[in-house]
Chains A and B, each alone.
Chain A
Amino acid sequence: MSASSSQALDYLELLPRQTHTKLYEQPSTVLAIFRCMLPHIAKTIVMGMLYMPTPFAAVDLEAWFRPDGKKEREKALAVLEQLHIVASQQDDKRQLSYTLYKGFARSLRQALEGSGTHRSFGVPSSIPDPNRVTIPFLEEYARSQWENILFFMVGSTVGLANANQLGNAVGEGTKALLKAGDFIRISNGRVSITRAGFTFVLQETNAQVWSLLIVYLKHAPQLGMSETDVLSFLFMLGSLELGQDYTTSTLSPTQLQMLEDLSAFGIVYRSSKDARTFYPTRLAVTLTSDTGALSTSDPLKSSPVGSSRPNANKGFIIVETNYRLYAYTSSLLQIAVLSLFTKLTTRFPNLVSGKLTKESTTRAVKLGISSTQIVAYLTAHAHPQMQKTQPFLPPTVTDQIRLWEYEGERVETTTGFLMKEFNSETEYRDVLSYAESLGVLQWKNDSKRLFFVDRVEQISLYLQKKKSRV
């Protein structure tokens, strides 16, 4: 589970049970959720239970885990219950046991066995397309569409001369969506990027796509589309094959409407608005995987040798302990993003070099970029040579970037919930340890029996369950 899929998971967790049940009717959706949303231990539990004829007794489940794996087990079960994949029940002897929800289990089995007639993994077009497009064309298409969006966002901040011209390439629908997601603000026809927008730009492409799609999902009901339909279509896109044309005849009206929006993002390609086929691009097929989408955005790496190594063509940034930064790139977008927080000095045909200075960092912080974002960006794009050490970045540099930020702001805010007024010490301890094992605990005060969490759904469930047991 990577950063990109975790935000999709956060979104999924908040959906009601009816939506989940409806979603789980499609094997492709179930498979995609299983593949990229669940924590690793949760996958193990689900697979262990999938072909089990009887419910899995909680005692047996505990026996399966080592004592030090308790935290992971609790976390996995919490996610599974939250997503309505696993149900816990008590039998006559008050023994707790777990079962998989029937719909989920059936769909997952169908996905693994390839059985059923659900046709949810995309129906390839049976008629050969006269103007068939090649994979390199699709890559190029996706890249240009997506980079246009990013350029549109950062262009004005960096002060690129041709920012306006690039902005015209972005469709009105996309602009509205970016605005709705609070990534940009448009005042007097001038585009300015927000803090959320910086988070967006500094993410990996895959995470960016998900961020945008989640905004899209949240606004789907306003456009008269059903969330379930939109979600299952997205998960189906993730299981398609690059370079294959798929027919539109089996899609629902909602999904046809989505196709138009998605082709504006560069996620799918259609030769014309009323074409009977569509092609998923690299952005689509990597929706449900972690492999870097758009790895070809660096033209230097398009040599066949580089592309044959899955991890090799990701990073391009080298940071030295003396705060010098070298980025092997000629992409204007990447240079623009780097210039947000570095003082760039020289540019060569395949390389830009610069320095991380206090001035450049505080400037970035003023724009709304946090030090964590900077460090995360540098880590995510670290050159393979840097990846040989752990951590990738020199610790002095990470520390210093953080300290520069803290000079300006000394208070960190977290939104969440304060838990208080516990009846007894044992009750406090119990709930506290549960919160800790979920990883939602932010702060605690033992003497006053107070603690603070950033997520409350699972704790309230836990408390309800506790109450019903008494």
Chain B
Amino acid sequence: MNAIDGTDRQVRTEEGPPPSLLAVVLDTNPHAWAHLSTTLPFSSCIAALLIFINAHLASGNGNEVAVIASHTHRAEWLYPTPHTTNSPLHSYSTDTTEDGTNGVAQRDPKIPENPNKYRPFATVEQCLLSNFSSLLNRTSETHLAATPTTLIGGALSLALAYIAKSVLRHSPVDTGLENPLSALADSESSHATRVPLTSRILIVSVSGDLANQYIPVMNSIFAAQRKRIPIDILKLAGDTVLLQQASDATGGVYMKPEQPEGLLQYLMMGFLPDATARRALVMPGAGGVDFRAACFCHRKVVDIGFVCSVCLSIFCEPNLPNNLCLTCSSYLSLRAAQTATPALVQRVKKKRKKVGAGPATPGASTPAGSSTPVHR
């Protein structure tokens, strides 16, 4: 009878969790997969990933998926297949089906009829496999010889762009297609109250040494952070500071399985829960996160670097050409800073001793040191 005062005017509008979009960035770096071939061949990784994607699609009726390959020389869409031309018949009919990521996802007429397979699953599998084999066919030896690493930054940007587009498409007001700009402004304001689509990115990474893409990856991380898109990392081999930071900054899951053979179970337990389920679950954390940055001049991970006072670019050595910052070209003389470096290191050591010694009050542990006069 408490209902009579009308305080619970929320008339059971809960329709279950909002649909969830999972963007998978698959690192297809052949060099790294060759290293892994004894424990986890690439084919079984793809098989596990497909089952995981099916499980994701089955977990919610509106769930969508996007798969991007981050290859050595380019980032490539695996699913949905990008189409430049839309046949009007298809765009009319695919809107409410599971693969209805219309515009990009098209029902491929070549999908073999298999009565043992749920149709949306077959669509994803067919697209993914055919796109991947065509990507491999287009990869030449010169591409492979050129670089040992992978274009994770480009793939991340593709994923973010796709998510942004999907969020617009899911917003309740039908303005997106005629006037994209107004929809953009609209989505900013309505986003706070109503989330029509939750998205997340999963990076399956095998390559180490991504420091040479520090800047694009960091920018993507900040974009994801702002849009509240968690970036989950499944690190099968190699270790990079960068991706650990990505998951830490965006609130995603970071996992480095000790036994890559059990990939599927890791995926199912650790990465399948979407934002709604994660609220009730204890998600695996990264433990200690390495927050070191990579310098902008040589893309090396540095412990201590030099920072431009204007644009906050990081450099590993003070000898800049013409004393100009490489990023913003403002005058930046780092020679004066160079002498101070040893002092900085020393001070850190001193501080630690002090804390260990005991008499220090919390106030004393701040680097008051010699520069600030202290009342006694």
In the complex the two chains form, is A117's CB within 8 Å of B116's CB? yes
Number of interface residues of A (CB under 8 A): 84
B323 sits at the interface (CB 8 A): no
In the complex the two chains form, is B194's CB within 8 Å of A112's CB? no
Give every chain B residue within 8 A of A43 (Cβ-Cβ). Answer: 58-59, 277
B130 sits at the interface (CB 8 A): no
In the complex the two chains form, is B12's CB within 8 Å of A35's CB? no
Interface residues of B in 73-125 (CB under 8 A from A): 88, 91-93, 95-98, 100, 102-103, 113-119, 121-122, 125
In the complex the two chains form, is A36's CB within 8 Å of B61's CB? yes
In the complex the two chains form, is B54's CB within 8 Å of A112's CB? yes
Given contacts A305-B177, A388-B194, contact A123 B61 (CB under 8 A): no
Tell me the complex Cα distance, A312–B55, Å: 27
Tell me the complex Cα distance, A385–B172, Å: 7
Interface residues of B in 7-62 (CB under 8 A from A): 9-13, 15-17, 51, 54-55, 58-62
**Contact code string A305-316 (vs B, CB < 8 Å = 1, else 0):** 111111110000
In the complex the two chains form, is A376's CB within 8 Å of B176's CB? no
What is the CB-to-nearest-CB distance from A256 to chain B, in angstroms, rounded to a whole number? 18
Contact of B190 among A135, A388, A392 (CB under 8 A): A388
What is the CB-to-nearest-CB distance from B9 to chain A, in angstroms, rounded to a whole number? 5
Among the 9-residue stretches A78-86, A237-245, A330-338, the one with 4 or more Cβ atoms under 8 Å from chain B is A237-245
Contact of A390 among B58, B95, B178, B193 (CB under 8 A): B193
In the complex the two chains form, is B173's CB within 8 Å of A388's CB? yes
In the complex the two chains form, is A412's CB within 8 Å of B279's CB? no
Number of interface residues of B (CB under 8 A): 65
Question: In the complex, what residue of chain A is closest to B169 when comparing beta carbons?
Answer: A309
In the complex the two chains form, is A65's CB within 8 Å of B280's CB? yes
Give every chain B residue within 8 A of A376 (Cβ-Cβ). Answer: 11-12
In the complex the two chains form, is B121's CB within 8 Å of A44's CB? no
Tell me the complex Cα distance, A50–B93, Å: 34
B6 sits at the interface (CB 8 A): yes
Tell me the complex Cα distance, A115–B194, Å: 39
In the complex the two chains form, is B92's CB within 8 Å of A307's CB? yes
What is the CB-to-nearest-CB distance from A416 to chain B, in angstroms, rounded to a whole number? 15
Interface residues of A (CB under 8 A from B): 1-3, 27-28, 31, 34-36, 40-41, 43-44, 47-48, 50-52, 63-66, 68-69, 72-73, 110-124, 135, 239-243, 282, 285-286, 288-292, 295, 304-312, 372, 375-376, 379, 384-385, 387-392, 395, 398-399, 402-403, 406, 412
Closest 8 CB pairs of A and B: A69-B280, A114-B117, A387-B172, A399-B6, A119-B115, A289-B61, A291-B96, A312-B174
Interface residues of B (CB under 8 A from A): 1, 3-4, 6, 9-13, 15-17, 51, 54-55, 58-62, 88, 91-93, 95-98, 100, 102-103, 113-119, 121-122, 125, 169-170, 172-174, 176-178, 190, 193-194, 196, 264-265, 268-269, 272-273, 276-277, 279-282
